[in-house]
């Protein structure tokens, strides 16, 4: 799975509370998407374009485990999110809602605001098309790629009910 898009850069330890502020948690995804990350970069929700790539530092998406943070980001139409590292619930939720996520140590050093990046989920490689700099992380697990290809966890479970609906363990 490959993505190419203009990148937007965010720092370390961005909590879900900054992706979806408490006053928007009951709003529809379209409203959350119009305010996503606005406190950190007011331009982002206004000017992000479909296919753009969000680049972030360490422990991106810490705090709440609610999937709305990933859905709000997905609602902007970005192609994928690449971070030095993710909070694990955020990483899990990305795949479950169908938003590609890639963990690449060193990505913030090679990306400048507005550069066009190329990211490959199956190899884990990221390239800055302007400078040619590359970095790579671990590719996403096969099960997670299958989840993305199905369109998320709910679609995967619907398409392959034997995965979760099989005989009970106890």
Partner 1 sequence: MNLVEKILARASGKPSVEPGEIVIAEVDMLLMHDLSGYLTSGVYDKKVGLPIPHPERTLMVFDHHYSPPTEQQADVLHHNREWARRTGINLLDCGSGNLHHAAVRGGFVKPGMIVVGSDSHTPVHGALGALAVALGNDSHAGTVLPYSKAWFRVPETVGIELHGVPRPGTTPRDVALWLTAQIGEGAMNYKALEFTGPYVKQLGFWDRWLFPLLCVDLGAKCSYVEPDEVTEAFVRALPGGLPDDFPRGDGGEAASVLRFDVSDVVPQVACPPTVGNAKAVSDVAGRPVDYAELGGHGGGRIEDIRTAAEVLRGRTVHPRTRFNIVPSSREIFAQAVREGLVLALHEAGATWFPPSTGSNQAINMGAMAAGEAMVSTHARNFPGRNGSTDAEMYLASAGTVAASAAAGEIAERSTP
Nearer to partner 1, 59 or 127 (CB): 59
- Around Cβ 28, how many Cβ atoms within 10 Å? 9
Instruction: Determine if 18 is a binding residue for partner 1 (CB under 8 A).
Output: yes
Nearer to partner 1, 87 or 127 (CB): 87
Q: Closest Cα partner for 10 from 51, 34, 30, 38?
A: 38
Which of 7, 9, 52, 62: binder of partner 1 (CB under 8 A)? 62
| CA atoms within a 13 Å half-sphere pointing along the CA-CB vector of 128 | 20
d(CA 122, CA 125) in angstroms, rounded, equals 8
Number of amino acids touching partner 1 (CB under 8 A): 41
Helix (H, G, I), strand (E, B) or coil at 15: strand
Chain residues in the site for partner 1 (CB under 8 A): 13, 15, 17-18, 21-22, 25-26, 39, 58-59, 62-68, 70, 85-89, 92-93, 96-97, 141, 143, 152-154, 156-157, 163-165, 168-170
């Amino acid at each position: 799975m490959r993505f190419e898009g203009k990148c937007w850069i965010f720092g370390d330890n961005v909590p879900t509370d900054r992706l979806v502020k408490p006053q928007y948690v009951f709003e529809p995804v379209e409203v959350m998407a119009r305010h996503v990350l606005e406190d950190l970069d007011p331009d982002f929700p206004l000017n992000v374009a479909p296919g753009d790539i969000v680049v972030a530092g360490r422990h991106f998406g810490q705090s709440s485990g609610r999937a709305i943070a990933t859905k709000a980001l997905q609602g902007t139409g970005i192609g994928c999110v690449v971070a030095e590292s993710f909070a694990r619930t955020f990483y899990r939720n990305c795949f479950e809602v169908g938003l590609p996520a890639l963990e690449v140590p060193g990505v913030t050093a090679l990306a400048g605001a507005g550069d066009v990046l190329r990211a490959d989920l199956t190899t884990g490689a990221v390239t800055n098309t302007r400078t040619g700099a590359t970095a790579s992380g671990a590719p996403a697990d096969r099960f997670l790629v299958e989840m993305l290809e199905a369109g998320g966890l709910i679609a995967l479970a619907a398409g392959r009910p034997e995965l979760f609906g099989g005989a009970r363990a106890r």
